[in-house]
Structure 1
Amino acid sequence: MKAGKEHSKTYFALPFNPAGEGNDYRRAHSIPYRIFDMDNDESVLIGAELWNKIGENKNTYSELLELFNEVGEKYLDRIKKTIWVYNREFFIY
Structure 2
Amino acid sequence: VIQIARELGIEVVETTIQRAALYLADELFFTGTAAEITPIRSVDRITVGSGKRGEITAKLQEEFFKVIMAERPAPFGADWLTFIHDTEEKKTASAN
What TM-score, normalized by structure 1, do the two folds share? 0.27
Higher strand share: 2
Higher helix share: 1
What TM-score, normalized by structure 2, do the two folds share? 0.27
